Structure 1
Amino acid sequence: MNVISKEVELPGGFFLGAGAVASRVVGINAEFMPIVLTEAEGRPAVNGSYFSCINPVDGQCLQEKYSDKFSDCHFGLMANLYACEGKPGKVIEVLAKKRTGDQSLVTALRKALENHYPDKSLALGGTFVIQKGKAKIHIMPREFSACPLNTNDEVNNWLKHFEVCAPLICQSVLVSKDPGLDLRIEHTHIFSHHGEGGHYYIDTTPDIVEYVGYFMPAEYVYRIDRPKETHAVGRD
């Protein structure tokens, strides 16, 4: 994370978002919820991140503080991150309840931006809380797949799916449409203070769900280590 802060020309910046843990550091594969104030001159990084993995004892969700076990700010595979100065200021507040369509809150926000600004690519990052209801999530298995996963069905069969209960804290990064950088256009991870967390899909209780969120537009979009060969598998 400290390297990324310099790559995006914001050393000492605050980062949140969704990604994967560094398996070589953690020793397993797991979902990563980064909350990091990166290092600056004369100040070390402050790591408040969480990660969720499959509990080897009972096969259920196991969420832990990343900083309780690992002192560095490494991540692995990929991450979608929102970076800012971490200072107080104006934000976009989103209040919503009782879902009537088939889209998640994040997809609804992204589609609204895409429809209103069809000729532009706009990005948002922020945090929202599911105050009431339940949500569908997945957590990657502790071990990487022994064979390639070539379709979305193969990916979904490999992942472990759960239903988790509010209150849930969700970190989200979204782009209204890909500006030609081969981006994952939305990515949201959940953590909680009752030990449940992972990759967010959508709420499962549309009649009672309640959301409150705070977002900021991005001034720039950075694509770091873009692969030469790409695919669309596993991007939902």
Structure 2
Amino acid sequence: MPIVQTESEHKSPVNGSYFARVNPADGGCLLEKYSEKYRDFGFALLANLFASEGQHGKVIEVKAKRRTGKLNFVTCMRQTLEKHYGDKAVGMGGTFIIQKGKVKTHVMPAEFSSCPLNSEEEVNKWLNFYEMKAPLICLPVFVSKDPGFDLRLEHTHFFSHHGEGGHYHYDTTPDIVEYLGYFSPAELLYRIDPPEETHSYGRD
């Protein structure tokens, strides 16, 4: 869960990132603050990242309570943008807090799969799934439409102050869930190091 403030003329760099891993002792989730001793756990696979100058300005506030449909919080916002803007790709980033309720999440095993994962079913068997409880601090990035870059249209990881974190799928308590988020639109989109071969597995 990358949260980084880069160095500037008046401020030193700050790395407030977290990472989640599977506890080898009991199969549970371990959430830890990133530090130099964990640099080998660094950027290893993929990420959707939102960068800003961190200046004061207007943002979009979104409040939601009680899920009534099948889509998760991020997908609802992304599809709303797609419906409004059509073929124009609009990217957003920010943060939201799940204030009440529980969510389905996954954490990847410590070791990458020794063989290719060739279906959604194989990916799901490899991942470790959990149900985690609020409050959860989420870091979403989503794009309304892929402009031909082979993008993962939405990606949200989260951390907490009670030892839980991972990849957000959807809430499991629709009757009581509460969300509060703040978002900004992106001005530029960069696609770095796209794979030579691609697929759609595990993109929810």
TM band (smaller chain): over 0.9
**Residue type of the alignment partner of 1:48:** G
CA distance, structure 2, for counterparts of residue 210 and residue 155 of structure 1: 29
- CA shift digits 1:75-113 (9 cap, x unpaired): 121110000001221110000000000000000000000
Tell whether 2:175 aligns with 1:207.
yes
Task: Give the aligned partner of residue 197 of structure 2.
Answer: 229
Q: 1:70 to 1:146 in 2, by over 3 A?
A: closer
Correspondence list, 1:152-167, <5 A: 152-167=120-135
**Residue type of the alignment partner of 2:26:** D
Task: Give the aligned partner of residue 149 of structure 1.
Answer: 117
Q: 1:167 to 1:38 in 2, by over 3 A?
A: same
Cα offset, 1:40, TM superposition? 4.1
**Residue type of the alignment partner of 1:108:** C
Task: Give the aligned partner of residue 178 of structure 1.
Answer: 146
Contact 1:122 1:177 in 2 (8 A): yes
Work out which of the residue numbers 89, 92, 97 in structure 1 matches 2:57.
89
- Asked which structure has the greater RCO (Cα within 8 Å, sep 6+), the reply is 2
Cα offset, 1:74, TM superposition? 4.3
Specify which structure has the higher proportion of strand: 1
CA distance, structure 1, for counterparts of residue 50 and residue 40 of structure 2: 19
Cα offset, 1:234, TM superposition? 1.7
Cα offset, 1:38, TM superposition? 2.1
Contact 1:54 1:139 in 2 (8 A): yes
CA distance, structure 2, for counterparts of residue 56 and residue 165 of structure 1: 22
Deviates more, 1:34-43 or 1:214-223: 34-43
TM-score (ref. length: structure 1): 0.82
SS at match of 1:75: coil
Identity of aligned residues (%): 66
SS at match of 2:77: helix
- CA shift digits 1:7-40 (9 cap, x unpaired): xxxxxxxxxxxxxxxxxxxxxxxxxx00001234
- CA shift digits 1:156-214 (9 cap, x unpaired): 01100000000000000000010111110000001000000000000000000000000
SS at match of 1:59: coil
SS at match of 2:47: strand
CA distance, structure 2, for counterparts of residue 55 and residue 220 of structure 1: 38
Contact 1:149 1:155 in 2 (8 A): yes
Tell whether 2:91 aligns with 1:127.
no
CA distance, structure 1, for counterparts of residue 31 and residue 70 of structure 2: 28
Cα offset, 1:118, TM superposition? 1.0
Deviates more, 1:83-92 or 1:163-172: 83-92
Gaps of 5+ in 1: 1-32
**Residue type of the alignment partner of 2:174:** P
SS at match of 2:44: strand
Gaps of 5+ in 2: none
Correspondence list, 1:27-66, <5 A: 33-40=1-8, 44-66=12-34
TM-score (ref. length: structure 2): 0.95
Deviates more, 1:64-73 or 1:169-178: 64-73
